[in-house]
Structure 1
Amino acid sequence: MTAHFKVSAGRTAIYPVTREQVEDRLGRRAPWFRPGPLRGDDKHFAVCPYCDNAIQLKGVYHRHERSPRAYGSHVGTPVEGFAYDLTDLEHCPFRLSRKSHGKSDRRAMGPVARQLIDLAVSEFDRIVLILRDDFGFRFSDAFAERMLDQWFDSRGFCYTGAHLRNLPWMIAYFGPTQKLFGQPIGQNDELANHIRECVPRAKILETGRLDKGVWIELYVQCLHHRMEVKIDTGELRESMKLRVQDLTSSNDATVAPTIYQNEIIFDAERFERLIHTPKERARRDEGLLERAQKIGAKWLL
């Protein structure tokens, strides 16, 4: 039971399911409104922001005792005037009951996967902006490029836990385990302090970068993607772990000591605000966009 809706499929704005938003955005017109024989039988439809299939908006005017808020419920069958894809519907987080997905689990290519490919290329600079904030340091463009390259190679766009609102974090999740040498980890005070405490030989330069001159194998990766629908609010809570390990003495991740670990909570609304920034106010990073275009070229044919 999603707490949000879109007016149409594709790269469009997302709104909370409230009486005011339904009346302002959808009105009483086709295909969003279907009159019934009685006022209480009227039906309102919109688009799920996670899978782009049709949802029926319930509780907008009349709420049941067991449902104190308005919400969107998947119809599950084609609705005239709306897009429909069974594969994307079956893998919508509001249709699935599981909270985690195997990293190797894939679904067939469909409209959502194709949208994710397009977004990954056209919005890569904004994706990197979010991930740099979540990592706590401004990792290099090459570091970011390796994430995107691995996401494509792994067909992360077909991952069963991927949807239209978690793309930035899925690119990090499918990114390779990467060395921290030369990265400005000093920008993340907590991470830098853990490294100083747990790896005394590590040297963090005045620039905040981890010195390449000392042979230490510090690696960072993202893992443990989790999702949970909050029944009381209809909100989807998603997270993953950011982990730094010292692989100097052992290349076995189950043995190597963990230096730092942090939970990253996905902020889907921030990504959407960036995507919908008016063109005259947008500040884009053309260098990152060029890198993304080269990597994604074969998938955009």
Structure 2
Amino acid sequence: MYIFKLSPSDSTYYDIDKNIVEYKTEKKYPYYRSRKDSDDFSQFAVCPACSNPIQIIGLYTAHKPYARHYKNNIPGLVEYLQENYDFCPLKRKHQSYSAKVRKQKVDSSVLAIIRVLIENFDKVIYFVQKSIDIYISVRLAKDMLNYYFTSKGYLYPGSTLLNVPLMFAYFSGTYHLNGRIIFSESLKESLKTKKFVSFSENKLHTHCDLSFCFRNHSISLIDEHNLQEKLIFSVAWRNEMGKIENVYEKEIEFDPIYCRRLFQYKPLNETEKQKEHRNMLRNSAFQIAQEFGFMVGESAL
């Protein structure tokens, strides 16, 4: 892998570069540790995906240094967790994912995922809305978050701090489209060809059982280091015979770098209406998390 973070609870990660590593660690313990067989030092950090120990290889000798998992605890820095390692998407041969499988316990990495989701809930909703070009109201956002917690999406083995918005979408449920504001021209055109919908401006009207969901999470490691994740946004309806037919689908390819920038972005020149909407989303997220037993915000997880 070519990225690292400084602690298991961090949601921010950095590129593995000599100057960046030195600046972020100050070349100090527990990141720099002396070797037993020499006067030299080894460099350690934390995997941004599974929050396990990693060792940085070739920081001062290689043209392109990288990191690999380190299967031991690093005192003062991070504990090694086998289950997290087994499913880590940055592991060359990780265990396959199933939407029905969940991790056995809520550990520090899971709590960090929940905290990042809740504290950035307005931005997560922005990501989903931008990906599908459908307006997500506060009520719909709350329904989606309730479904996420009920289905324990945070315990899905493929859920990491790198893909929080994508996994929220994946475990957000299925919802009717009637009455929703649709901006996607391609989706509108696909629906119009079926002749069972109408639009007043961008608002959809239909008497059919027409709904959307997210499915088919896939993940692959390109060139053994670069992560590629995808979801399918799917729209389907139940016909007169009761059979479900796909109407429209769109592949969503997740960009973790975009996600990192989105979470770091601070809104500028907001209108009062935009600020109110954003605050309503965040406040709703804090309340729902507490209802499910997770204290976020002023109370640490």
CA contact (8 A) 1:195 1:202 kept: yes
What is the aligned counterpart of 1:149 among 127, 146, 151? 146
AA in 1 matched with 2:259: F
| Corresponding position of 1:173 | 170
What is the aligned counterpart of 2:209 among 201, 209, 217? 217
**C-alpha distance in 1 between matches for 2:163 and 2:56:** 23
What is the aligned counterpart of 1:81 among 76, 81, 95? 76
| Corresponding position of 1:258 | 246
Cα drift, residue 122 of structure 1: 1.8
Cα drift, residue 110 of structure 1: 1.1
CA contact (8 A) 2:219 2:229 kept: yes
Tell me whether 1:132 sits opposite 2:129 in the alignment.
Answer: yes
In structure 2, the CA distance between the partners of 1:74 and 1:274, relative to structure 1 (3 Å rule), is: same
| Corresponding position of 1:300 | 294
TM-score, length-scaled by structure 1: 0.87
Tell me whether 1:239 sits opposite 2:235 in the alignment.
Answer: no
AA in 1 matched with 2:76: G
**Which segment is superposed worse, 279-288 or 104-113?**
279-288
**C-alpha distance in 2 between matches for 1:96 and 1:148:** 32
SS in 1 for 2:49: coil
AA in 1 matched with 2:129: R
In structure 2, the CA distance between the partners of 1:227 and 1:99, relative to structure 1 (3 Å rule), is: farther
| Corresponding position of 1:230 | 222
User: What are the ranges of 5 or more consecutive residues in structure 2 without an aligned counterpart?
Assistant: 296-301
Cα drift, residue 280 of structure 1: 8.3
CA contact (8 A) 1:3 1:71 kept: yes
SS in 2 for 1:210: strand
CA contact (8 A) 1:4 1:14 kept: yes
Tell me whether 1:158 sits opposite 2:151 in the alignment.
Answer: no
In structure 2, the CA distance between the partners of 1:135 and 1:280, relative to structure 1 (3 Å rule), is: closer
Cα drift, residue 25 of structure 1: 2.0
**C-alpha distance in 2 between matches for 1:181 and 1:3:** 44
Deviations 1:1-39 (A, max 9, x none): x21011233235311112222222224321111234557
| Corresponding position of 2:64 | 69
**C-alpha distance in 2 between matches for 1:89 and 1:98:** 8
| Corresponding position of 2:279 | 286
| Corresponding position of 2:9 | 10
**C-alpha distance in 2 between matches for 1:279 and 1:144:** 20
Higher strand proportion, which one? Answer: 2
AA in 1 matched with 2:249: Q
In structure 2, the CA distance between the partners of 1:89 and 1:29, relative to structure 1 (3 Å rule), is: same
AA in 1 matched with 2:75: E
**C-alpha distance in 2 between matches for 1:165 and 1:250:** 42
**C-alpha distance in 2 between matches for 1:281 and 1:275:** 17
SS in 2 for 1:203: strand
- RMSD after superposition: 2.3
What is the aligned counterpart of 1:91 among 57, 80, 87? 87
Runs of 4+ in 1 over 4 A off after TM superposition: 278-284
CA contact (8 A) 1:85 1:110 kept: no
SS in 2 for 1:57: strand
In structure 2, the CA distance between the partners of 1:113 and 1:281, relative to structure 1 (3 Å rule), is: farther
AA in 1 matched with 2:280: G
CA contact (8 A) 1:240 1:264 kept: yes
CA contact (8 A) 2:86 2:94 kept: no
Cα drift, residue 265 of structure 1: 0.9
What is the aligned counterpart of 2:197 among 194, 202, 224? 202
**C-alpha distance in 2 between matches for 1:160 and 1:154:** 13
AA in 2 matched with 1:61: Y
Deviations 1:115-140 (A, max 9, x none): 12222222211110111001122222
CA contact (8 A) 1:154 1:174 kept: yes
TM-score, length-scaled by structure 2: 0.87
Deviations 1:236-294 (A, max 9, x none): 11111011112132544xxx221111110112222322333459899861111122122
Count of residues in Structure 1 that have an aligned counterpart in Structure 2: 286
**C-alpha distance in 2 between matches for 1:231 and 1:84:** 28
